[in-house]
A and B are shown apart, each in its own frame.
Chain A
């Protein structure tokens, strides 16, 4: 081969190799190529749920008389209890001892085991009516699952009040409870409120006066260690010598920027005889930070607010706001703050003997199907308050077994239905932004029980194995 041709061939070969290699690179770099994309493995696992347990507050108690020391109590009235457990679970009842109550009958606790790794739904509630020299009136309370933290809004440690904190531990391990009292001077941890031992399967009764004597508008935070406890506040008042009513206050919803008290029953119109005092008072607390809040009161069924108030909150100091001038009827109270707050409304039927009062605590949002048991009492009414969105709620008696009634609630309003005593209702909403409360209202009888969300524990967990 002649040398020139050889050179030409060599150059052509080299150029060809370069062209092929460069071309392949250019194509791969510039053109979008499909890759192999494997998503990381993850599994959503629902933990095996625990047995559902609720503990009940038990009978109303009264301070011991005669030779009994101040730290002992006696049963003032029996408690009627209604229980419900959603199918297919069955509930087991157990007794809760009351060592602080001389000869006390004690309370009950109920439990239901999970079925097919699904937590059982369980609800129970109790009510009492008492008529004695120290206590008179009607009280109702829900049996509640033990919590590591409970907020109790209501009561008083002033003269005339005989309020007690009721702590129940339905579990198998003794609990150690610390109580923080929020008052005029902010949060305090009284010596009597440190390390209150609640033995397993027992109930403790602690006078509020021992926690903060003279505190006019306390809010209590109950923190349980070792094992969770259920907490209530039993509150009563004696004006001069007449008992002015009694109530068992359920824990309010944990502090949040928005709170709803679904139903407050105003039974005395302003301007009527004897209406010298304001019968409706809102108590609220911003536990950790100061802020501003707007309080909106809306009549159930109406959409325009009956009154709106703007208030400023100090951190850790409870505030009372008088909600006067409301006509007779049922109202929804909403608190919207820029810091987490908790709240409850006090309402009384009057200030004479034979009148009763009740605390209406803020209710938790019902993001899951929830049960509510209606204890024996006059004028039981279930009020459903919608949040920012319309809510359509199916309410079914027989713990969900009976045919359901559909309650449609427009955003920002509330609706009520009458419920039967002794019955258990299951609430299933199409949104998680609504809350509900049960109210009782009769002659010399006021009480309220907030509806608790059915299940909060068995949240699924995303596991990356």
Chain B
């Protein structure tokens, strides 16, 4: 038995943990030892009167004060100067040994002279039966593995065995070995200190063994070993120090020849680590992991000291350690144990057996029947539809920062909608415009599919799911958007159910949060006017998560991140020009159709019932004489009544959120008319209400289904109510669905280019040559715009142009040139056009031309024909084209623009990549999802 045991106890009263309480218990436990310590030295890191008093009252031979930032390793080193005795017992404020602990430890040390230190069994402070650590091993690659952590102590490890190393808390070290090994490595930052000590002891030819009979309770205050707490700060701190220690040890233990290689691999590995963290749904680890890599990368002095310490003490080869490392098999059995947890379980999906597939199929059939011949069309036109660029490269060029393909010298960020268009067009790389045709054909079945899946979050009844799918596919907003050619509104309607499907469980998993966040970005890109409504719902979600104390706060926060990043450049531009309202402007081609209501209550009722245009989805032409249009508002009456009733159901929180969602959607729809930021050809255009009405429809239908699912009612009543709700919607769908068959649809076959084929042929498909398009307007003014490339395109449209705030210098230049061109002016305007890159001048003849328009059109054509430097190259029925005869300069992005373009593309790509990595399902996330109910709000939030 060693003659003397010197206990070193380190206290850190930093206020976060009740240091004095822990210290009292530890000191009491020390006093109660059957074999008393021979000397006790207390090191107090930081100023605290109470702790100091407690320490002074103890039997300590010395109480040493140290700075607040002193680490455990440094504190031990300070106290080491007073070291008297044959063994040193490493303690902290939160290590309370059982009365016989020291006796057992000392006994183990006594029994084996080759032993460097003996390690106790660490158990929880408040639960003696739960193990914290029983030795530490490491993998072949140096990752530390705490043995038996979290297991129930059933005496299963009490045999006592050789281990590679042990947790630093409570170990009893021979003083000569302690001195020989030069104590703990300060550079480890608090983690893996015991492992490192054990490794060095083993290399020096000693043994390390457990003394399982010696039990020490530890609280995990973070004085010695990283803090064990569960709050975010402690978790991040633990991750950071553990990773730092691991990397530091990797460099310290590596053979000299490989150190440089390891050092060089630190940064690439950090990048790889980011990807791994994302796929493993641990995005919070990214920061600490990267920080650890950087710390180790620059801390060369500590590395040199650590390697020198090992070299000095080393007497054996590294290969001796191999049998003590944990094997792959041992590791995977531990992981398996960890994942075998059972939850409430997830019910069957029943997509096929429950009729979901048949519903989708039925709507596919409806789509083919009501849009005959569409498949053969190369492009869709009419309404707010425009052709897409003919090449994938062109699609993405339209979506990048830089010169916009519209406007005199317009340059700046692209609308996020251009990204959506580019994505959509890239699905059909040979002929991007066809992607829109396919979108139109698939709209009904995809809407039904989305509706069905969204319904799985609300009800397990297959019948109700089919009702939701049908209600969603036949929504007046979708049918109006399809008949009127509104691509953005169609995409919003198709994406919304998936947004609800994922965002409703965003708090549960990172995969759902990431997928949901991408869908938020998609929906907002198509309909920025939904931003206020979605922001409101997001705040409600945050409050609900916070109130319920659920773990998903960060995940719900993440929902808006991609949308913010995607809108950032445009937002910055609008902020710079001081017009944030214009951010709400509808992207894409601005529909010239009249969408505003006349403000009467009847018109408003019609709108609130889900009809975004005053012609009530084409019913205006079909209703019998004398029947007011507002009777169609009754279509929404059953669903609205059921939605109102839903808030009284049991577990009504989801219903309340859905009703709130409907309200925000309806409010947005009412406000749509009042926000007039866009203009096309001199006519102001209010926001399109369809996306807001889709949101409202989602809320109403969802809430109605909750009511049908959860309100106590007999089965026939439920069936009758569902049938009534659905049948009125089916009847209302007759007019818009039959529009194509009745020849009342606004859709047209093509064109594939809005400019004459001559321009596309001359321009070679690039975007460098412009066409000045002049359109005489009804009031005798002249619309003048510049189109770059072979056609105006859906992705090339820019709200920077359509939602302009005021006249800028470019407008004045363009207006002057236009005025010079169409009058008998002396100015050499064609030279200016050529120098600017414009190669063509096109005069469009409006279909129903006013007298004033005809007068200015005739004068313009006459003057353009007489102008030097312009060759008339053709007159089609409704337009006249001139080519600029002189050499035309090319329009190109400046170097600065290209830099910004690359920067923005990189950022957006990075965020999308992060989302995709987070959304990739792994075995773990699938297992996790299986444990939870599909239904939202059984006890959590909607």
Q: Chain A interface (Cβ within 8 Å of chain B)?
A: 10-11, 13-15, 17-18, 21, 24-25, 28-29, 33-51, 114, 457-465
Counting CB contacts under 8 A, is B885 at the interface? no
Is there a chain A Cβ closer than 8 Å to B675's Cβ? yes
Known: A18-B647, A464-B784. 13 other contacts (CB 8 A): A13-B647, A13-B652, A14-B647, A21-B662, A33-B674, A35-B675, A37-B684, A40-B682, A45-B812, A48-B820, A462-B781, A463-B784, A463-B814
B773 CB → nearest A CB, Å:
11
Residues from chain B with a CB closer than 8 A to the CB of A46 are: 819
C-alpha spacing A77/B573, complex, angstroms: 73
**Interface locus among B19-27, B33-41, B99-107, B799-807:** B799-807
**B45 interface hit (Cβ, 8 Å):** no
Which of these, A11, A48, A465, contacts B784 with CB under 8 Å? A465
B825 proximity list for chain A (CB < 8 A): 47-50, 458
A461 contacts which of B604, B806, B807, B819 (Cβ < 8 Å)?
A: B819
B778: shortest Cβ distance to chain A, in Å?
11
Inter-subunit contact A37/B811 (CB<8 Å)? no
Do the beta carbons of B679 and A40 come within 8 Å of each other? yes
Docked-complex contact A40 and B684, CB < 8 angstroms: yes
Q: Across the A-B interface, how many residue pairs have beta carbons closer than 8 Å?
A: 150
Given contacts A18-B647, A29-B670, A35-B675, contact A47 B814 (CB under 8 A): no
How far is A48 from B816 in the complex, measured between Cα atoms in Å?
Answer: 8
> Is B676 among interface residues, defined by CB-CB distance under 8 A?
yes
Alpha-carbon gap, A44 to B676, bound state (A):
22
* A13, B826: Cα distance in complex, Å: 76
Min CB distance B122 to A, Å, is: 43
Q: What residues of chain B lie closer than 8 Å to A41, measured between beta carbons?
A: 679, 804, 806-807, 811
How close is A370's CB to chain B, nearest CB, in angstroms?
20
**Is the Cβ of B684 less than 8 Å from the Cβ of A43?**
no
List 28 contacting pairs A-B, 8 Å CB cutoff, sorted by A.
A10-B650, A13-B652, A21-B662, A25-B670, A29-B608, A33-B671, A33-B674, A36-B675, A38-B582, A40-B683, A43-B812, A43-B814, A45-B815, A45-B816, A45-B818, A47-B823, A48-B829, A461-B781, A461-B818, A461-B822, A461-B823, A463-B818, A464-B681, A464-B781, A464-B782, A465-B408, A465-B810, A465-B811
A114 to B673, CA, bound (A): 47
Residue B490 at the chain A interface, CB threshold 8 Å: no
Question: For the complex, is B327 an interface residue (Cβ under 8 Å from A)?
Answer: no
Which of A24, A34, A38, A39 has the most chain B CB atoms inside 10 A of its CB? A38
A18-B644 in contact (CB<8A) = yes
Decide: A28 and B670 in contact? CB cutoff 8 A.
yes
Q: Are A10 and B667 in contact (CB under 8 A)?
A: no
A227 CB, nearest partner CB in chain B, Å: 8
Please report which residues of chain B, range 779-816, place their CB below 8 angstroms from some CB of chain A when the two chains form the complex.
779-785, 803-807, 810-812, 814-816
Q: How far is the CA of A462 from the CA of B856 in the complex (A)?
A: 11
Asked whether any CB of chain A lies closer than 8 Å to the CB of B581, the reply is: yes
What's the minimum C-beta distance from B266 to chain A, rounded to whole angstroms? 53
Provide the B812-853 mask, 1 if CB < 8 A to any CB of A, else 0: 101110111011111101000000000000000000000000
Q: What is the interface of chain B, defined by CB distance below 8 A to chain A? A: 408, 581-582, 601, 604, 608, 644, 647-648, 650, 652, 656, 659-660, 662-663, 666-667, 670-671, 673-679, 681-684, 777, 779-785, 803-807, 810-812, 814-816, 818-820, 822-827, 829, 856
Cβ contact within 8 Å between B671 and A28: yes
Contacts of B581 in A (CB 8 A): 36, 38
Given contacts A14-B647, A36-B675, contact A459 B814 (CB under 8 A): no
A461 — which chain B residues lie within 8 A by C-beta? 781-782, 815, 818-819, 822-823, 856
Residues of B within 8 A of A465 (CB): 408, 784-785, 807, 810-811, 814-815, 818
Interface pair B676/A10, CB less than 8 Å apart: no
- Which residue on chain B has the smallest CB distance to residue A34? B674
How far apart are the CA atoms of A14 and B807 in the complex, in Å?
51
Contact A25 B683 (CB under 8 A): no
Query: Do the beta carbons of A14 and B782 come within 8 Å of each other?
Result: no
A228 to chain B minimum Cβ distance, whole angstroms, is 9
- In the complex the two chains form, what is the Cα distance from A126 to B581 in whole Å? 64
Q: State the Cβ distance, A132 to closest chain B Cβ, in Å.
A: 41
Q: Write the nearest CB–CB distance from A16 to chain B, whole angstroms.
A: 9
- Chain B, residue nearest A226 (CB): B866
Q: In the complex, what's the smallest C-beta–C-beta distance from B364 to chain A, in angstroms?
A: 36
Task: Please give, as numbers and ranges, the residues of chain A lying within 8 Å of B652 by CB-CB distance.
Answer: 10, 13-14
Q: A47-B825, A461-B823 are in contact. Are A14 and B648 (CB under 8 A)?
A: yes
Nearest Cβ in chain B — how far from A21, in angstroms? 4
Supposing A21-B663, A25-B666, A36-B581 touch, asked if A114 and B819 sit within 8 A by C-beta, the answer is: no
Distance A325 CA – B769 CA, assembled complex (angstroms): 72
Q: Which residues of A contact B676 (CB under 8 A)?
A: 35-38
Minimum C-beta distance from B260 to chain A (A): 62
In the complex, chain B residues whose CB is within 8 Å of the CB of A40: 679, 682-684
Contacts of B781 in A (CB 8 A): 42, 461-464
**Is the Cβ of A457 less than 8 Å from the Cβ of B679?**
no
A34 to B777, CA, bound (A): 29
Q: How far is the CA of A464 from the CA of B786 in the complex (A)?
A: 12
A18 cross-chain contacts in B, Cβ below 8 A: 644, 647, 659
Closest chain-A Cβ to B739's Cβ sits at a distance in Å of: 29
- Say yes or no: A36-B684 contact (C-beta < 8 A), given A18-B659, A43-B811, A461-B819: no
Q: What residues on A are CB-neighbors of B682 within 8 Å?
A: 40, 42, 464
Assess whether A39 is in contact with B820, with CB atoms less than 8 Å apart: no
Provide the bound-state CA to CA distance between A43 and B806, in Å: 10
Chain B residues, Cβ within 8 Å of A34? 674
- Closest-by-CB residue of B relative to A12 is B648
Give the 8 A-B residue pairs with the shortest CB-CB distance, closest first. A35-B674, A14-B647, A40-B679, A462-B781, A43-B815, A48-B827, A45-B819, A463-B815
B residues in contact with A464, CB < 8 Å: 681-682, 777, 781-784
Are A38 and B684 interface neighbours, CB within 8 A? yes
**Closest residue to B828 on the A side, CB-wise?**
A48
Q: How far is the CB of A237 from chain B (nearest CB, A)?
A: 39
**Cβ-defined contact, A460 with B819, below 8 A:** yes
A462-B780, A464-B781, A465-B814 known; A21 vs B660 contact (CB < 8 Å): yes
Q: Report the minimal beta-carbon distance from A118 to chain B, rounded to whole angstroms.
A: 12
CB distance from A113 to the nearest CB of B (A): 8
CA A14 – CA B663 in complex, angstroms? Answer: 14
Contacts of B679 in A (CB 8 A): 38-41
Report Cα–Cα, A48/B674, bound state, in Å.
39
A459 to B819, CA, bound (A): 9
The reply to whether B811 and A10 contact each other, CB–CB distance below 8 Å, is no
Chain B residue, CB-CB nearest to A114: B826
Among B673, B806, B818, residue most surrounded by chain A Cβ atoms (within 10 Å) = B818
- Are A47 and B671 in contact, with the CB atoms below 8 A? no
Q: Whole-angstrom distance from the CB of A147 to the nearest CB of chain B? A: 12
| CB nearest to B682 among chain A residues | A464
Chain A residues with CB under 8 A of B677: 36, 38
- Least distance between A460 CB and chain B CB atoms (Å): 7
In the assembled complex, which residues on chain A have CB atoms less than 8 Å from the CB atom of B644?
18
Please indicate the chain A residues that have their CB under 8 angstroms from the CB of B673 in the complex: 35
**What residues of chain B lie closer than 8 Å to A13, measured between beta carbons?**
647, 652, 656
Tell me which of B676, B777, B784, B825 has the highest count of chain A C-beta atoms within 10 A of its own C-beta.
B825
Distance, CA A458 to CA B825, complexed state (A): 8
Q: Which residues of A contact B667 (CB under 8 A)?
A: 24-25, 28
> What is the CB-to-nearest-CB distance from B632 to chain A, in angstroms, rounded to a whole number?
18
Q: Are B675's CB and A457's CB within 8 A? A: no
Which residue of chain B is the closest to A11 with respect to CB atoms? B648
Q: Shortest CB–CB separation between residue B824 and chain A, in angstroms?
A: 6
Q: Which of A45, A51, A114, A462 has the most CB of B within 10 A?
A: A45
With both beta carbons as reference points, the residue of chain A lying nearest to B607 in the complex is identified as A29
**A42 proximity list for chain B (CB < 8 A):** 682, 781
CB distance from B116 to the nearest CB of A (A): 61
Q: Which of B581, B648, B827 has the most CB of A within 10 A?
A: B648
Among residues of A, the one whose C-beta sits closest to the C-beta of B407 is A465
CA distance in complex: A460, B822 (Å): 11
Q: Which residue of B lies closest to A50 (CB)?
A: B826
